[in-house]
Amino acid sequence: MSLGFFIPFAVMTSFWGLVGIIGPFCVPKSPNKEYVRCSYFVNFRLWRVSIVLTAICCYLSWLIFFLAQWHPFYGPTLSSKTLRVMQLEWKPKW
């Protein structure tokens, strides 16, 4: 495989990995945590889980579309007339 496969794969994997790992630590602390402890803890957890799930879902959707374009199931279907025209018009350059 060429670098055209590995570079986008490595860049996007590292990007969404960083979002999923560093993102939960960037959740702001609530100013009223003394008053409502249970609600704050649940809200804080919810934000963390939401960020991690967002990173996972975005990465998986990108990966599925990337691999589907890299190795499609079906190629273009051409009629025999189109194939004959291509053979006549696109002659080899050697």
CA trace torsion 45, 51, 52, 56 (10° rounding): 150
* Buried b / exposed e along 56-79 (16+ C-beta atoms within 10 A): eeebeebeeeeeeeeeeeeeeeee
On the 0-12 / 13-18 / 19+ scale of CB atoms within 10 A, 16 is buried
Terminal alpha carbon distance of the chain: 27
Q: Would you say 48 and 20 are in contact if contact means Cβ atoms under 8 Å apart? A: no
* pLDDT computed for residue 5 by the predictor: 82
Q: How high is the pLDDT of residue 20?
A: 92
pLDDT at 33: 52
pLDDT, averaged per 10 consecutive residues of the chain (94 residues), comes to: 83 94 81 53 77 94 90 79 89 70
**What is the reported pTM?**
0.62
| Contact (CB, 8 A) for 45 and 27 | no
